[in-house]
Amino acid sequence: MSRSILDEAHIHPAIRETIANNHADIVREVQAAIAANDIVVVGMAHNPFPKKVRKILNQWGFSFNYLEYGNYLRGWRRRNALKMWTGWPTFPMVFVKGVLVGGASDLRKLIDNGELARLLSGKA
């Protein structure tokens, strides 16, 4: 899969550092959580889909780390850094063993077909 992203040669040198550091703290925080946990859910307040994912994971007995950033009225600039980093356009962002698997409906499919258990066992 090739994802379209502006290459460094097409970014003026004077702004490269600004781009590289734009809300880099939120990306580092999520990267640290991914490194330390088998399942990480990144969401936002007042959005029903992160809540749905947490409920599904709890019902199935999967432990996970939940990170919440802002809501519909605040924090969108910081969340945008995560969207640019992952390429995933919506919340939640669900990571399993360091791999972005998608959102709520994607997680549901992985559970239903048994792939989530295989990913967690390392047999996928």
Domain ranges in the chain are 8-121
User: What's the pLDDT band for 122 if we cut at 50, 70, 90?
Assistant: confident
Residue 94: name the closest of 33, 23, 25 by CA. Answer: 33
pLDDT cut 70: percent of the chain above it: 98
CA 55 to chain centre: 17
User: What's the pLDDT band for 111 if we cut at 50, 70, 90?
Assistant: very high
Question: According to CATH, what is the number of the domain 8-121?
Answer: 3.40.30.10
Task: Give the pLDDT confidence of 41-63 residue by residue, as tens digits.
Answer: 999 999 999 999 999 999 999 99
d(CA 28, CA 12): 24
Pairing of strands 93-96, 39-43: antiparallel
Indicate whether 109 pLDDT > 90: yes
Task: Give helix then strand counts, H and E, for the chain.
Answer: 6, 4
Mean pLDDT of the chain: 95
Indicate whether 124 pLDDT > 80: no
pLDDT given for residue 3 in this prediction: 86
Residue 122: name the closest of 93, 99, 100 by CA. Answer: 99
